[in-house]
A and B are shown apart, each in its own frame.
Chain A
Amino acid sequence: MCKRLFCFCFCLMTFSFWGNAQGITLNGYVSDAESGERLIGATVFENTTSVGTVTNNAGFYTLTLPATNIILTVSYVGYETLNMQLSVKKDTLLNFNLSNNAHLSEVTVVANQSLSSPQSVQMSAVEVPVQQMKGIPALGGEVDVLKALQLLPGVQAGTEGSAGVYVRGGGPDENLVMLDGVPLYNVNHMMGFFSVFNADAVKSLTLYKGNFPARFGSRLSSVIDVRQNDGNLQQYRGSVTVGLIAAKVNVEGPIVKGKTSFNVSARRTYFDLITAPIMHAISKSEMNDGSAAAGYYFYDVNAKVTHRFSDNDKLSGSFYIGDDKVYVNYREREVEGMDGGRSKLSLGWNWGNLLGAVSWEHRFSPKMFAITQLSFTRYRYNLKQTLDASLALDSTDSNRRLNLNEELQYRSHIMDLVLQSNFEFTPNNKHNLRYGAQYVYHRFNPQVASLSMFGVESLSNGLPVDTTLSGGITNSHEVSAYVEDTYSPLWWLKMNIGLHGSLYAVKGKVYPSIEPRIGLRTLITRDLAIKASYSYMSQYIHLLSNSSVSLPTDLWVPVTSKIAPMRSLQAALGVTYNVLGQVELSIEGYYKFMKNLVEYRDGASFFGSAAGWENKVFMGDGWSYGVEFLAQRKIGKLTGWIAYTWSRTMRQFAREGQVLNFGKPFHAKYDREHDLSVTLSYQITPKIDVSGTFVFSSGNRATLAMQRYYDPDISTRRHSVYYYEERNNYIMPNYHRLDLGANFHIPHHKWKNAEHLVNVAVYNVYNNMNPFLLYADEREGQLYKITIFPILPSLSYTFKW
């Protein structure tokens, strides 16, 4: 059925492709009037013909119109709408500059063409304005764009406080998270409590949960497209923020006014600085003669330089580096119980991403635009422990000592080199054709462990040891190409038909994939649309992780001859309604089937080890279905959204030799039946705005052994064994929380554009003890839950200029 529909649509589009190409073509860029920053997703609408379009990721639009007298409306959320009447006789480059008006009162965005609007063919996608995100009360006052995504329908959070994103029953490794079009592998800091995205550097964020356009591939469950600011072309602006957890700075400005700009953001936490005096005090009081120091911090730096040669060409370079670092240094000058013993132990553990990209945007003609990008991304972790010890072997002879040097090291990295070209061709208003190709060179080195031990006097058990274990470097190549057309044969009918093809070559094995994508939109009225979609996706890499929190030691590995690529089929049907141009309502139902999912065998561990990983996992299937409701208001004094999801996510591992849960279907760990979030911001005065978030969701699932018994073969010390009847058989208590926050904008008394911003927020206002994890104490016959975030007030101060 799908194939026939696909063929029919393809023929229809081909015949109509070159027709209706009469008229003039307006094209150009929509930018912020003050900074020159190009705006992604701005609407350009012609009122007499009711023809409209939105700007692409480069802020470029193209619109072919039959009339020469046109009435244009250009609008964007948070900006003043621009209306103009023009008389145009030939193809014209027309750039628009919109004025930012953060304190905009009740206005209507005319003929909104945003992704979630009835006008758009796209469904299962959400754009959250960055300004709206920044207003959401945040844990520790640290605004986090990924945590904001967790408040959207169809998106589940992981454990309490974590930035893990589980989309429509998929795992966190099934999300393609891109920064300026470049994939990021580890998107978390601090075991997942914070994401790597510094909100100050982010220009736009779009989440695709389904109905994936053909230009996206390589992940099953979602695409999270994050774009960085280019930088202010006109003047130097910036901000400095000091919060409870981190301090950050953002500076942007022109290098060559109107032509070249830069934007640099940096952030660092200071847990280590807070805990340092305590560590020092403890080491002083507890240690006779020695010292101890330990700490943790993370930092990240985002930078972007953009140069506009002309309206036809723009070159930009993006850079990101972020690291988490843990360090422990322990020195004893007198080892207890050993005369003359000395030891020095140091542990260093760091992990993070490095990303670089060069992008060239070129306008070939008013109807054709291209972006070509060469990028590099790398995630690595490195754990190193060294021990230098010196022990006296003979108390009468100080020269007889055993000197021991031990060095234990784990390293791992994944690196991608990506070359991609994406073209956009708009022959007429009925077609918007996109096509492109991508080549990715993946280099996996998932585990190198080395141990060296050297002693001056050999011990009996075989010193010295110098061993290096390696999972081996794996190189793989991924080539993909796509073509998609957004076709509108009738005013009420619009479709997006696409095909994504890819080849993945690893160790002599080549996996092909042809992935059809279809999206349909039928307008019932101008403000009411029915949408349907179908997507087929493939994924060639897996994340090995056996913990519900994001650990830096989680390892990315490619598919192999034994472990096949993951595949998914997703179909969705929905209704979108725009209420008076103010509120977008949508309700969507979806069904997703996932094949070749990987789960760990019972008890298997991947902590720091990819050796033999294929034998530690089983492959199976999963399915998820649900209904999602979203009411979103992006404009006016009161903004925010209400999101509700009812869903079910199951797994089944019943293949021969790969049986989990006795082959029976079981609930996924994050299968939460109900998920509700209400996020509202209200601007009381231009100087004060308040916001609140309420979250309610069914509890996570946990595996509890309901029975225990004696097994003489295992219970050699008369320990009981546990009988796990079913995986994830117990629902933890419901999760709910209310966060409140307020921003106070205080204008600087001397500088015109400068202001002080004080943010006060309280996380978990009514101190609900939400469960982070459960455990049973059989001796007391009691279940316990551990809560890690009770009521948590925060305060941050920002100076903007």
Chain B
Amino acid sequence: MINRKLYIFLLLFVFVSCETTVQFKGEVEEPLPVLHSEMVAGQPLTAYVGRSYFFLDENVTDLTPVDTNRLEETSNHQLGALTNAIVEYQINSGEWGRMSIYKDTTDNVMMYKAEGYILQPGDAVSLRATCPSIGEVSAEQQLPKPIDFTISNITYNDKAYSVDINLLQYQGKENEYVALRLKVELECYDAQDSLLATLSPSTFYCNDSVFERCANLRSSKMNYYPIDGKYLLLPAAVLATADYLLHLNANITFRSRLGQNLKEEDIAKCNLKTTIKVENWTEDTYRYYCTKAIYKGEYPNDNYRDNLGNVFDFDLTEVASEFSTTVSRDFGMESGVQLFCNINGGLGHVTGKAITTEEITYPNINY
């Protein structure tokens, strides 16, 4: 019987793997100015201005992507936000105006805002930022116009759901994309018309061509990526000459909460509420969202070359590949994702979109 210590020693000797440091050979790159702005028609014009860091700069440890434990300590300095930048905007080739700094309470980040101006559909917006000792950046974006639509023929009977969404004819700029989001909820009321509960679908199996692949999804996947998190995407060019009618058939089962805080005898009626948002994206917005989705590991099923496709669609095996891919990416075995960038002289993105929302309720359904 071989001595156990000797056995382990031999094994370690044979299968040892070594990790050592490597001297970085190359130029340490200077920081670049960063500009981000997501413009939505009907909302104020805001922008983030910051700087980048050399990837081996150990002084900005809180930017490390795996460090989630010290979020509260993260300061704007570490985020690279620049509070001393001169940020200006121009609407439809008019006068340049200066944006003022403010603190965004949602993300607790210093941002810049065009005071008193609400973005309008079709606005051509130019932004420029002068960042002391770092450089100057600029970007342009023209906001698209909203897509109008109507909802009709909603039915729900014994889990079978259908709806017609008619996207009205639209002539916009080249390479705009229409993104559609759908949310179906069941609102249950008592005899006094008080809302008892809002139920979300637990399964959503559909067989419509536009959502064809969602039939392959596990129910648990649907919970994790709920219906209202999924986009249907099609080029706006399909609306150039005529309306576009989407007929969606689905099989929906709502998550039962009976026996928990919801008693069947208390329910007097349930209404089926369908909320539909149609977003019109500029080409830059589309390209940024695509690379963003890939960057975040949400591999898109992008059929845009065939005019139809569900960008944020997943299948089971891709979920299984998550671990492998993460390992590949973290250890440099896979090429990194190049995020879309449309900033002159720096990094970041400036995007634009217009959103139309419709809500319709189908009353007194038997679920």
A residues lining the B interface (CB < 8 Å): 244, 274-275, 277-278, 408, 410, 447, 449, 451, 460-462, 465, 467, 469, 546-549, 562, 600-609, 611-612, 615-616, 657, 660-662, 702-724, 727-728, 730-733, 769, 771-776, 778-788, 790, 792
Residue-wise, chain B 76-117 has the 8 Å CB interface mask toward A (1 for contact) of 000111000000000000000000000010010100000000
Is there contact, CB below 8 Å, between B296 and A724? no
Q: Is the CB of B17 within 8 A of A717?
A: no
Which residues B323-357 have CB closer than 8 A to chain A? 324-325, 328-339, 341, 347-349
Q: Check B20 against A710 for contact (C-beta < 8 Å).
A: no
Q: B3 an interface residue at 8 Å Cβ cutoff?
A: no
Given A609-B321, A611-B317, residue A706 in contact with residue B55 (CB < 8 A): yes
B20 and A724: CB pair below 8 A?
no
Decide if A603 touches B295 in the complex (CB within 8 Å): yes
- What residues of B have a CB within 8 angstroms of the CB of A720 in the complex? 53, 60, 63-65
Task: Verify A784–B292 contact, CB threshold 8 A.
Answer: no
A-chain residues with CB within 8 Å of residue B36 when the two chains form the complex? 711-713
B228 at the interface (CB under 8 A from A): no
Contact A708 B321 (CB under 8 A): no
- In B16-31, the 8 Å CB interface with A consists of 16-26, 29, 31
What residues of chain B lie closer than 8 Å to A547, measured between beta carbons? 324, 328, 333-334
Given that A602-B338, A708-B53, A713-B36 are contacting pairs, would A461 and B219 also be in contact in the complex, using a CB cutoff of 8 Å? yes
Closest to A789 in B: B17
Q: How far is the CA of A600 from the CA of B334 in the complex (A)?
A: 10
Let me know if B218 and A451 touch, CB within 8 A. yes
The answer to whether A721 touches B56, judged by C-beta atoms less than 8 angstroms apart, is no
CA–CA, A110 and B325, complex, Å: 56
**CB-CB nearest in chain B for A658:** B305
- Check B80 against A661 for contact (C-beta < 8 Å): no
Contact of B132 with A by CB under 8 A: no
- Residue pairs across A and B with Cβ atoms less than 8 A apart, 5 shown, are A277-B7, A602-B337, A605-B324, A769-B18, A773-B331
Asked if residues B302 and A605 are in contact (CB atoms below 8 Å), the reply is: no
B366 contacts A by Cβ under 8 Å: no
Q: Which A residue sits closest to B320, measured CB to CB?
A: A608
Nearest CB of chain B from residue A400's CB, rounded to whole Å: 16
Take A602-B335, A604-B299, A720-B64 as given contacts and tell me if A467 and B55 are in contact as well, using a CB distance cutoff of 8 Å: no
Residue of A nearest to B38 (CB): A713
- Give the complex CA separation of A772 and B16 in angstroms: 13
Q: Is the CB of B291 within 8 A of A785?
A: no
Which B residues are CB-close (under 8 A) to A467?
216, 218, 316
Q: Which residues of B contact A603 (CB under 8 A)?
A: 294-295, 297, 299, 325, 329, 334, 337
Nearest Cβ distance between residue A779 and chain B, in whole angstroms? Answer: 5
Q: Is B225's CB within 8 Å of the partner chain A?
A: no
User: Least Cβ distance of A454 to chain B in Å?
Assistant: 14
Q: Are B202 and A460 in contact (CB under 8 A)?
A: yes
Residues of B within 8 A of A778 (CB): 55-58, 60-61, 63-64
* A359 and B6 alpha carbons, distance in the complex (Å): 51
> Is the CB–CB distance between B63 and A719 below 8 Å?
yes
Report the stretch among B44-52, B160-168, B241-249, B271-279 that lies at the interface: B44-52
Q: How far is the CA of A410 from the CA of B303 in the complex (A)?
A: 25
Q: Choose from A611, A657, A709, A779 the contact partner of B304 (Cβ within 8 Å).
A: A657
Q: Is the C-beta of B191 less than 8 angstroms from some C-beta in chain A?
A: no
Given A707-B347, A775-B330, A786-B18: A609 and B255 interface contact (C-beta under 8 Å)? no
Known: A771-B22, A778-B55, A779-B64. A712 touches B336 (CB 8 A): no
Residue pair B332, A703 in contact (C-beta under 8 Å) = yes
Closest 3 pairs (CB-CB, A-B): A781-B58, A462-B219, A607-B321
Q: What residues of chain A lie closer than 8 Å to B341, measured between beta carbons?
A: 723
Residue of A nearest to B326 (CB): A605
In the bound complex, do residue B22 and residue A774 qualify as a contact, i.e. CB atoms below 8 Å apart?
Answer: yes
Residues of B within 8 A of A723 (CB): 32, 52, 339, 341, 347
Residue of A nearest to B56 (CB): A781
B54 and A707 form a contact (CB under 8 A): yes
Stretch of B66-74, B148-156, B180-188 lying at the A interface: B66-74
Hey, which chain A residues are within 8 Å of B330, CB to CB? Answer: 775
Q: Is the CB of B332 within 8 A of A708?
A: no
Per-position contact with A for B256-279: 1 when CB-CB < 8 Å, else 0?
A: 100000000000000000000000
**Which residues on B sit within 8 Å (CB–CB) of A788?**
17-18
- Given the interface pairs A244-B14, A705-B336, the reply to whether A462 lies near B202 with Cβ below 8 Å is yes
With A547-B333, A709-B52, A783-B24: A462-B203 Cβ-Cβ less than 8 Å: yes
- B318 beta carbon closer than 8 Å to chain A: yes
Minimum distance in angstroms from A35 CB to a CB of chain B: 36
B43 at the interface (CB under 8 A from A): no
Given contacts A278-B11, A602-B335, A714-B292, contact A469 B56 (CB under 8 A): no
Contact residues in B for A244 (Cβ distance below 8 Å): 14
B34 at the interface (CB under 8 A from A): yes
Q: A461-B202, A788-B17 are in contact. List 5 more A-B contacts (CB 8 A).
A: A657-B304, A708-B55, A709-B34, A733-B22, A779-B64
A703 to B337: give the CA distance in the assembly, Å.
10
User: For the complex, what is the distance from the CA of A707 to the CA of B338, rounded to whole Å?
Assistant: 12
Which has the most chain B C-beta neighbours within 10 Å: A451, A601, A711?
A711
Query: A410 to B55, alpha carbons, bound, how many Å?
Result: 38
B58 partner residues in chain A, CB cutoff 8 A: 778-782
Q: Which one of A710, A731, A772 lies within 8 Å of B34 (CB-CB)?
A: A710
- Rounded to whole Å, the gap between the CB of B5 and the closest CB of chain A is 12
Question: Complex: how many Å from CA A775 to CA B327?
Answer: 11
Q: B124 to nearest A CB, angstroms?
A: 22
B208 CB–A CB distance under 8 Å: no
Q: Is the Cβ of B317 less than 8 Å from the Cβ of A706?
A: no
CB of B62 closer than 8 Å to a CB of A? yes
Q: How far is the CB of A182 from chain B (nearest CB, A)?
A: 30
Chain A residues, Cβ within 8 Å of B190: none
Residue of B nearest to A602 (CB): B337
Pick from B25, B318, B328: contact of A609, CB below 8 A: B318
Q: A462-B220, A609-B315, A710-B79 are in contact. Are A776 and B56 (CB under 8 A)?
A: yes
Closest to A794 in B: B14
A773–B339 contact, CB under 8 A?
A: no
What's the nearest-Cβ distance from chain A to residue B17, in Å? 5
